[in-house]
Amino acid sequence: MVIKMKPVKNDDKKENKYWQTTTGKILVVTLVFAIIVVAFTLVTGQIAYGNVYGKLFNDSKVPDVQFQGSPYAMNNTSGSILVFNVTDLDGPNQAAVTEIILTNVTTGKNITLTSQNISMDIYRVVDAKYHYHDNVKYNQYNGIYVPLGDEATIYMNLTTSLHHNLSGKYKVTLVVPTQKAKFATADVTF
From first to last of the 190 residues of the chain, give the pLDDT tens digit.
666 666 555 555 555 565 566 777 888 889 999 999 999 988 887 776 665 555 554 555 678 889 998 999 999 998 999 999 998 887 767 888 999 999 999 898 999 999 999 999 999 999 988 766 678 899 999 899 988 888 899 999 999 999 889 999 999 999 988 766 678 888 888 8
Q: Cα separation of 92 and 178, whole Å? A: 11
At 156 the three-state DSSP class reads strand
Which residues face 173 on adjacent strands?
101, 185
Query: What's the pLDDT score for residue 184?
Result: 86
- Phi, psi (degrees; rounded to nearest 5) at 160: -60, -45
Torsion sign, CA atoms 148, 143, 173, 179: negative
Judge contact between 127 and 152, C-beta under 8 A: yes
| Model pTM score | 0.67
Query: What's the pLDDT score for residue 11?
Result: 53
List CB contacts of 36: < 8 A, sequence separation 6 or more: none
Q: Cα separation of 158 and 79, whole Å? A: 7
Q: Cα separation of 126 and 121, whole Å? A: 15
- Give the fold, CATH level 3, of 65-189: Immunoglobulin-like (2.60.40)
Query: What's the pLDDT score for residue 29?
Result: 87
Query: How does DSSP assign 25-61, residue by residue?
Result: HHHHHHHHHHHHHHHHHHHHHHHHH--SSS-SS-GGG
At 115 the three-state DSSP class reads helix
At 20 the three-state DSSP class reads coil
List CB contacts of 105: < 8 A, sequence separation 6 or more: 168, 169, 170, 171, 187
One-letter amino acid at 59 equals D
CA–chain centroid gap for 123, Å, is: 25
Query: What's the pLDDT score for residue 116?
Result: 94
Query: What's the pLDDT score for residue 143?
Result: 92
